[in-house]
Structure 1
Amino acid sequence: MTTAGLNLIGQALSIYDSQLRLVVSNRPFQTMFDLPDHLVQPGALFSDTIRYLASIGEYGEVEDIEQIVDLRVKQALAFEPHYIERVRANGQVISVEGAPLPKGGWVAVYTDITDTKQAEALLRARSEELSDQLLGRAEELSAANRKLAATNAALEEAKRQLTEIEARTRMTTEMMPAHIAHLDADGRYDYSNRRLNSVMPGRPSEILGMHISQALGSVAYNRVESHLQKAYGGEVSVFEFTEDQDSRRIRVSFTPDGEGGVYVMSVDITEETQARVALQQTRRRAMAAQMTNGLAHDFSNLLTIILGMQSRLERMGLSEDARELVAATQQTARRGGQLLNRIADMTGNRTPQPKATDMRGLLEDLRILASPSLPRGVGLSVVNTLPDKALMLDPGMVQDALLNLVLNARDACGESGQITISAHTISEIWVEIAVSDTGPGFSQEGLKKALNPFFTTKGDKGSGLGLPMVYDTVKLAGGDLSLRNTPSGASVVLRLPYRPAPPVQEGLVLLVEDSDDLRSQFRDMLVELGFAVIEATSFDEAFVLTKDVTDIALVLSDIRLEGNETGLDLLAKLDPALPCILMTSLPYSDPLHRAALQHAPVLRKPFTQAQLSALIQDEAA
């Protein structure tokens, strides 16, 4: 329809791109200039058209055609709005009006004004009343009007481009995972990308004209007010705070605009903070391990010597009183050894290994596991409102931590009471698990020191390492732990990052990797994602398996393999319809790596299970 419409207008039209290649033209363009068919096809070069027109005398007598071509090409590449009138070799007078396009290139409209010019000449010849000066002015005015019309068209196009740029800029800011805004000198929003609600749920999205204290709420505003005042004073302020509603961690930057206002950017960094907490705890444990390992070794040697000497004393026929002292010394030394073992557990290499975990089953197993150790008068109940979906947690570490808390609650309850384990989510950011009891609660000293190693209220029956080990477990996972007293007793609350498990995959994967250690690691990843796995170490083994096994759903292969053949050679032999993912530790500059990117997705080693799962899902899609 567009082509038909352009062909019906009385003017010739052509559009060339930034490389001066024809994009579109109408039929009058071809007929006006008597152009051959190949010069009106999309992609035809502007230079070839000028060369053809010069060769047929369109521009009169021309000594050097290429000079004319170069001149017209340079003028066209300038992409400036223009209006000219030109007399062709055949006597026809045409006006040429050109305007640049937003992404480069230009559009030109050619109008036959021969009749208009003849009418002006006839008017000049036959009018005796009008002076030559008046006719000249009229002609100048007519030409000026035409130029003004061309300029207006260019201004309208510039206005359209600015509007388009503004709309694109707003769309970009609204798609960013951050709240971007501007405050005037009075603290009222005069610009916002309407993302405040996504960064801080519960706040309004439409906040133009609203004061920042009203938009954020009094609690959050009190936390940012001092930083905002610094920005109004001309100082850039970047800070973080924890938002009360669902404990999101927010990073805010206030930047003065130099004219009395302040630019604002707010980002939800909860996941980043969780990862940072886990990394910090790992580093602390590494430092603690360095400090304690040597001491633990020496103390272990001393305890061994003490136990050996006590054994010799026990065999010397001592009196009953002396035997009791020897037995007490042995018991104390053994308790010291148990304490050293627990210190080693706290500072040893305990790396969380998250896997898809059914929290309903985990909590039910915990109830069954803990119940036999409780007195008959102590009840244990589980209140679980978590979503019925698998979560990425280390089930062993979580269950150990909760069992430790249940046993502590049992000691607090004595012979009768109630222990409750409750679990729920907070805005799909945290998994909160609380272990509450109906005991006497924490003392003020306990609330302050219970997480300190070796602090205990159980006398010689406690080591003071139970809660610190739970705290260590939670921090390693990127979470947090808090203690509180309730109207009916005490409660220990664990917060762990909420991470839904990726969807379970199905099918058979051919894994091709020549390193035993890496192959084992990749196999575990695939199995945890729900795949069955067959393995090969070389091109020959893998090729035979692809021939013998017909239900392979995916091939995951290293680029470098045993022997001369590579993963690329294997890929060339496979059915093109069979999904294949290559992996490598080669740098991007390596020719093999660059060649692989042309044929299949490439995972750069090392990679995570989440990265592998995401790429497999992309391939399946």
Structure 2
Amino acid sequence: MIGPCAGPLHILHLEDSDLDAELIEAELEKLDHPVVIERVMTRDAFAAAAQPGRHDIILADYVLPTFDGVSALGIAREQCPDIPFIFCSGTLGEDVAVEALKNGATDYVTKQRLDRMSRTVLRALAEAQGRAEKRAAEDALQALNETLETRIAERTRELAEANAELKRQIGERERVEEALRLNQRLEAVGQLTSGVAHDFNNLLTVIAGNIEFLERAVADERSRRRLNMMRGAAERGANLTAQLLAFSRRQRLEPTPVGLNETVAAMRDLLQSSIGGAVQIETTLQTDLWPALVDATQIELVILNLAINARDAMAVGGRLTVETANVIVTGPPTRPEQPQPGEYVMVSVSDTGTGMAPEVLSRVFEPFFTTKEVGKGSGLGLAQVFGFVKQSGGGIRIDTVLGEGTSIKVYLPRVERDGAAVRSAPVPVDCNVAHPPGSAARLLVVDDDAEVREVTTTRLSEAGYEVREAASGLQALAALEVDPCVDLVVLDFAMPGMNGAEAAIEIQNRWPGIPVLFVTGFADTTALTQAGAVGADAIVLKPFRDGELERKVASALGSPSRRCDCSATARWRCTSSICSPSRCSTISACGRHCSTA
């Protein structure tokens, strides 16, 4: 306790003799440590001075005129029990000293042996320090014991939370990995189906075209019936490829503002007749529903498709609920089919049927996957819904409980807040090639498939057009370089090397007056829009149906917006009487009807 860095030693000294006090103080100076001594001689003075933390040690005479050491010991043990108490008396016998120690004194020194004072004080201080340290350790141990259970519980809770967080992170990682695998699988299947659909549409175009040619040459009724059967099979094949293209997000959509409440209300009778009287139909329609930006025809097919699936899940009847709502999605998607954060118009179809098992739910959007009996489902229904919704910029959420039912929520983008639909800006067209009276329009047919090209050129030739051919986008450009006098380019979209969209952009950059009509088995609508395809009349789908090719070619050639555009300030003069005023803005604007002024 006494060391080079310690403060002065504070001593309370109870002594009535000045001489003895001086002798004792002289001995204390031998401690080789600063000492501060407070001397008292009466009970009151001692009681006032004996306070906790005020002194380091108490020295007391045993016999005083008005006071005695035993009483002083009692006061000290009551008021400051932790301070060492040493008797220092000349009349203290052995019996009295032993009694004093029993009563709580730390030690004693006789005045005849004051040379023992320094050692006694140091020993008393060391013992006091030991007792203090022991008491502190005991207090700490007691506090530790008292808080041990609490700390164990707290640590257990922390470990449980850490374990739960670790499990959550592992589960989240597994969920993300599974979602990634599912998305990659759907993307791979989508690419495969779109490629198959394109090639299949080319085959169907050849089949359907030649069936049409044969029908003109066949006279007997039996052969015509067989040709009708073949044409029906080709049309069913075309419908199948249309479903595949819907899944792979390659179908052509015309998004417009649509009120889904009106759509659902108008479809009620159709839904009831499609699912039968055993199923009760209920509708829950939000009154202030936002308009959805969606293809009106396709969303009707989606609702009907979901309703038929719900009917099939309710073998003995039940309840089908169609609901609409405005929804704001905030969290990120946990599965590929779910919507990204944003504002959506939601339409849901719920049933009270059998529900889906987890292994079914994980594959429900894959093409040709079905749990129905053979012959009762193609497995393309939900795949088609998935492709349409994702291509429209929305998402799907499926909530299902095995044995209780399923709810399929379709999220569709809302029209912008100002009420205007988000549409792609039309690509401006300068003009169309004009024709002198009586001349046949000249067409350039571009398709890499020779058989498809032969069907296309035959049909157009029979329709009265003068037809030229090219087997690729580069061949088309080369043909136009030699002779740009073409009234219309009939252009296949999917071709190796330069595809139809790229060829169309190059044609419009170099010959802006030549219109382009796309023929395709599947198409990236964004690429087609950028290439100049505006509206349904700019695209002919393979296989050709009911004179659609001839009708859209005639429409493209006769569009008033593509007439010859002449300008009085340009250097080209129009030689045809249908051009007015007499000058054309570019030589390509009026094609063969322009010459230098």
Give the shorter-chain TM-score range: 0.3 to 0.5
Larger Rg: 2
TM-score by length of 2: 0.35
TM-score by length of 1: 0.34
Q: Which has the higher contact order (CA 8 A, sep 6+)?
A: 2
